[in-house]
Structure 1
Amino acid sequence: MNRKLLLIFLIVVCLIIPNYSYAETTAKPLKIAFIRDGFVWIKINNKEEKITKAKGVYTNQPEWSFDGNYLMYQKEIPTGPTASYPTRSEIWIYNMKTKKEQRIISDGENPKWSPTKNIFAFLDSGVLNVSDFKNFYNIALGVDDYNWIPNGKGFIASSAAALNPDGWTNPVLYKITLPNDLKNISSATNTVKQFFVVPKTLTKGNTSIPSINASTFQFSPDQKWISFIVNPTASWSMDSDMLCIISSDGKVFEVQDEIILHLDNPKWAQTKNILGYIAGGGRLVFGYKNKKMNITEMPAFTSTNLTPPHYAELGFTWCDDTSIVVSRVKESEWSNDEKKRPKPSLNVINLSTHKQLKITNPPTGKGDYNPVYSKTTNKITWTRKGELDVVGNVWIANLDGSKPEILLKNVSSYSIFER
C-alpha cells in the first residue's frame, strides 16, 4: 500500500512541476497604459483602472517614464474662435505612487521622456524646453524636431528649411548638450553645435524631393548611426519622403530609400546595427502596392527586401535581431468601398532561415494592425479593427500566433512599459 501511495505521489509531482515552471517563466504581468472612451486607463496585474477624472481628447498614446513611475499624456483643449490655432495641447503627468495627475505644461507639443531621468523635453513654437515637473528651461531655439541622445545628456535636433526670395534654405542638424544641473543653463545657444547640413535636394533612383524638414531621429544600438526622415512640402510628403542614415560623427551620409509617412517609422534591431523600414513611395489611395519590408545592415549599407511578390506591408515590429512581425495585405488597387479593400494579417519573418509564416486570421471586415513586440512577456500584441475604426481590441499571442487572446477592449491607443 505504501509503495502505491508513493508511486501516486511521484506521478502527481511530475505532472505539476512542469506546468508550474512554465507559468513562472512566461506569465510575467504587463503594465499597460491606454486610451478608452476619452479617459486614460492603466492595466497592471490584469486589473484595469481609470486614472483621469475628466473626459477629454487625448491626441497620442500615453508614454511611460524610463522607470515606469510616471505616465505622460497630451490633452487637446479648444482655444476659441479668436486664437491662431483651434486647439492647444496640455501635457499632463500621472504619478504611479501617489496616484495623482498634474498638468505640467498648458501648451506644448512633441513631448519625450529622458531615457535616464524623470524629466521630459517638449516643443513650444519652435523652442525646445526641458521640464523637471516644477520648472521648465529653454534649451534651444528654432527647433523643428528632435530626439534624446540615448545617454540622456543631450539631443539631436533639426531646423526646417526656410523660404527666402531666392528659394529654400537647407534643413540643418544640430547636437545639443545638457548640463547635469538644468539650473546651470544660461543661454539657449551656448550648448548648440551644428552637426550636418542636409542637401537641398535628395535623390534615390528616379525620384527627387526638396529637403524641407528632417525628423524621426533614431539611434542604432551602438549609437554609431542615426536614421532620420527628410520630408518635402506638406502635400508632397504624402507621396514621397526619403529615409536617410548618417554616422554619429557626421562624416558618412546616405539617402537610403524612398518611403512615405503614416505607415510605420523605421526601427533599429535590438542589439545589431540593422535598420528595418517599409520602402516605397505613393500614398495608399493609389493602391496597396509598392510597400516592401526592407532591412539595411550597417556599416555596409546592404539592403534586403523581405516582402514576397504580390504583397504589401502596413506596419512591423522587431521581436529580436533575427525575427520581424509584419502587418501584411495582398496587393490591390484602391477602392472607394472600404469593404473591398484588403485587410491585413500578421506574418512572422525569420531572418536566419528566411522562412515566413502567417500567424493571425482576422474575421471578415477586420484587420490586424500595428504589431508591437512585448519584451516583458516575449509575446506579440496588435490592434484588431476595421480600417476606418478609431478604436479596436488589443490582442496578445505567442510569437508563432498560438494562444491568441484579447488583452484590451475598445482602445484607441496603448503603451506597454518594458522593464
Structure 2
Amino acid sequence: MKKHVILLIIFVIMLPNIMKAETTSRKMNIAFIRDGFLWTKINEKEEKITKEALKFNYAPQWSYDGEWILYQFEPKKKINPNLDFQNEIWVYHLKTKQHKRITYDGRNPKWSPIENIIAFQSGGVLNVSNLDKFYNIALGVDDYQWFPDGQAFIASSSATLQPTGWTNPKLYKITLEKDLEKISSLTENVKDFYVIPNELKKGDVSVTAITATDFRFSPDGKWISFIVSPTASWSMDSNMVSVISSDGQRFEVIDEIILHLDKPKWAPQKNLLGYIAGGGRIVLGFKNKDMKITEIPAFKSMNLTPANFAELSFTWIDDQTLMVSRVKESDWSNDPKDRPNPSLFMIKVLGQEQIQITHPPKGYGDYQPIASANKLTWIRKKEIADSKEDLWIADKNGKNANEWITNIDGYDLFEK
C-alpha cells in the first residue's frame, strides 16, 4: 500500500511536467491548394474552404497569429478586358469561416509581422489594408518588405532606360502611420535609403543593376539581404545576392545566383546567409550550383557542396545544420526520364558532415525542403516540372518520414 502511495505522489509531482511537455509540442496547421480549391488541414482533418474551382497562381499565406489565411486567384471574368493578368486578393477567417475580398486587382501581398494588416501592390502603388479598406502608401515601388517591427517598409524602385543610359535602382525606407486614416501624403513618409551602383561585380562576373527584390532581414534585424537583377532575359542566367545594413550605411555584393532555384535565407538565430551560388540557367545543365553560407558582417563564405553534385533548394534546420535537395551533376535533357532526380541531404556545417536522408523510389525526386519548429516537409514528384506533387513530413532530422498530403499545389505552414 505504501508503495502505491509513493508512486501516486511521484506521478502527481511529474504530472505538471508531462502536461507542459504536451502543451509545448507545437501543432502544425497547413493551408494548401488542390485541384483549384483552397484547403486546410487542422488537427489532421482536411477541409475544403472555397466552393468553386479557381486558378491559383500563388500559395496561401497565414497571418502572424494563425487566425486568417490570405489567398489569391485569377478571376474568370476580368474587370477590364484589356488586362493581361488580374489577381484578386482575399482573406479567410478560420473561426467565423468568413471570406473577405481585399482588392479586385493586386499583387505581392504580405502580412504585417505584428498585426492583421496586409500590404500589397497595385501597379507601382504600395497599399496597406486593415482588412476593411485599403490605403495608398507610396508610388513607384518595384518591391518591398516589412521591417520586423511592422512600423516601416524597405522598398525599391527599378532603374529606367533613358537616352543617356540606365538610371540607378534605389532603396527607400517608408514609415507607416499608426492611424492609417491620417495618411495625407504619398511622399512625406518616404526617405532615401541607398542608391545601388549601376554595375555590380563579384570576381570576374558583373551584372547591370536594374531591379532589387526579395528583401529579408537577418535574425538580429541589423542586415537586409536582397537580389539585384539585370534585364529580364539576362536575369535567367545571372543575378547578385547582396546585403545592406539596416541603417543603409554598408552595402556588399555576396555572390552570383539564379532566380529560379531557391531564394537566399538567413539562419534561424545567427547572421549566416545561405544561398545556392552559381550562374547559368538549369537548361544549360545541373552544374555550378553550390550551397554556400556567408557570415555577416565578417563576410566569410563557405562552400558546402561536394564535387560532382548540384543543389536545387535548401532549408535551415538550425544554425549549424541545413537540408538540401541535391542531384548528381549532369547535362540537361529534353526527356524528363533522363534528368537526375534529387534526394534530401543533411549538411552539418561543423565538420561539413553530409548525410543522405531520403531515398525516393526510381523516377521520383524530393524537392523544396522546409523546416519548421518541429518538423521537416518537402515535395515528392516525378520531375522538376511535374504538376502532380505530394507533401511528405518527417522529424527535423528526417526520421519517421511519411506521405502527409497528396496532390498538393502550393502550401503554407503555421505552428501554434
Q: TM-score, normalized by length of structure 2?
A: 0.93
Q: CA deviation at 1:264?
A: 0.6
RMSD: 2.1
Could you tell me which amino acid in structure 1 is paired with residue 160 of structure 2?
A
2:414 equivalent in structure 1: 417
> Within the alignment, does 1:369 sit opposite 2:367 as a pair?
yes
Q: Kindly tell me: are residues 299 and 47 of structure 1, through their superposed partners in 2, closer, same or farther at Cα, counting changes over 3 Å?
A: same
Separation in structure 2 between the aligned mates of residue 368 and residue 258 of structure 1, nearest angstrom: 25
CA distance in 1, matches of 2:324, 2:98: 38
2:379 is the counterpart of 1:383: yes
Aligned to 2:401: 404
Match of 1:361, SS state, is: coil
Counterpart position of 2:341: 343
Q: 1:262 aligns with which of 233, 237, 260?
A: 260
Q: Identify which range, 46-55 or 84-93, moves more after superposition.
A: 84-93
Q: Confirm whether residue 162 of structure 1 aligns to residue 143 of structure 2.
A: no
Q: Which runs of 5+ in 1 are unaligned?
A: none
The one-letter amino acid paired with 1:205 is: G
- Correspondence 1:147-186 to 2 at 5 A: 147-186=145-184
What secondary structure does 1:400 align onto? Answer: coil
Asked if the contact 1:29/1:46 (under 8 Å) is kept, the reply is: no
Give the superposition deviation at 1:336.
1.1
Matches of residues 134-213 of structure 1 in structure 2 within 5 Å? 134-213=132-211
Check conservation: 2:64, 2:111, Cα contact below 8 A: yes
Match of 1:108 in 2: 106
Alpha-carbon deviation of 1:30? 1.5
Shift of 1:84: 3.7
Decide whether aligned partners of structure 1 residues 187 and 233 sit closer, same or farther in structure 2, where only a CA change above 3 A counts: same
Q: Quick one: which of 308, 312, 337 aligns to 1:314?
A: 312
Asked if the contact 1:395–1:404 (Cα under 8 Å) also holds between the matched residues in 2, the reply is yes
Counterpart of 1:370, as a letter, is Q
Q: CA deviation at 1:355?
A: 1.1
Code of the residue aligned with 2:387 in structure 1: it is: V
Against the structure 1 CA distance between its residues 40 and 165, is the aligned structure 2 distance closer, same or farther, given a 3 Å change threshold? same
1:313-339 C-alpha deviation (Å, 9 max, x unpaired): 000001111111000000001111110
For 1:23 and 1:347, locate their aligned partners in 2 and report how far apart those are by CA, in whole Å. Answer: 30
State the Cα deviation string for residues 233-290 of structure 1 (Å, max 9, x = none).
Answer: 0011000001111111222111110000011110001111110000000000000010
Q: Does 1:304 align with 2:305?
A: no
Pairing 1:117-132 to 2, within 5 Å after superposition: 117-132=115-130
Residues of 2 paired with 1:26 and 1:311: CA distance? Answer: 39
Matches within 5 A, 1:220-299: 220-299=218-297
Q: Give secondary structure in 2 for the equivalent of 1:339.
A: helix
Assess, with a 3 A threshold, how the Cα gap between structure 1 residues 26 and 348 changes in structure 2: closer, same or farther.
farther
AA paired with 2:94? Answer: M
Contact 2:27 2:415 in 1 (8 A): no
Structure 2 vs 1, CA of residues 114 and 82 (structure 1 numbering), >3 Å: closer, same or farther? closer
* Structure 2 residue aligned with 1:393: 390
The verdict on how the C-alpha distance between 1:202 and 1:383 changes in structure 2, with shifts beyond 3 A counting, is same
Q: CA deviation at 1:81?
A: 11
**CA–CA distance in 2 between the matches of 1:343 and 1:27?**
34
- In structure 2, the residue corresponding to 1:417 is in which secondary structure? strand
Distance of aligned partners of 1:183 and 1:22 in 2 relative to their CA distance in 1, 3 Å threshold: closer
Aligned partner letter, 1:406: E
For residue 21 of structure 1, report the CA deviation from its aligned partner: 8.9
The alpha-carbon deviation at position 402 of structure 1 amounts to 1.8
**Secondary structure of the equivalent of 2:362?**
coil
Name 2:59's counterpart in structure 1. Answer: 61
Deviation at 1:27, TM superposition (A): 6.1
Cα distance in 2, alignment partners of residues 24 and 418 from structure 1: 14
SS at match of 2:283: helix
Tell me, in whole angstroms, the C-alpha distance in 1 between the residues paired with 2:257 and 2:31.
30
For 1:25 and 1:368, how far apart are their aligned partners in 2?
32
Name stretches of at least 5 consecutive residues in structure 2 with no aligned partner: none
| Structure 2: distance between partners of 1:384 and 1:35 | 16
Give the secondary-structure state (helix, strand or coil) at the position aligned to 1:250: coil
State whether residues 107 and 122 of structure 2, in contact with CA within 8 Å, keep that contact through their aligned partners in structure 1.
yes
Deviation per CA, 1:175-199: give whole Å up to 9, x if none: 0001111111110100000100000
How far apart in 1 are the matches of 2:355 and 2:39? Answer: 34
The CA deviation string for residues 90-133 of structure 1, in whole angstroms up to 9 with x for no partner, is 00100111011121210000000000010100000100000011
Q: Deviations over 1:8-39 (max 9, x none)?
A: x99xx9xxx9xx89994896432100000100
Taking the aligned partners of 2:251 and 2:400, their CA distance within structure 1 comes to 44
CA distance in 2, matches of 1:231, 1:172: 13
Q: Name the structure 2 match of 1:216.
A: 214
Per the normalisation by structure 1, the TM-score is 0.93
Amino acid at match of 1:40: L
Return the offset for 1:86.
Answer: 2.6
Partner Cα separation in structure 2 for residue 22 and residue 47 of structure 1: 24
Shift of 1:82: 7.2
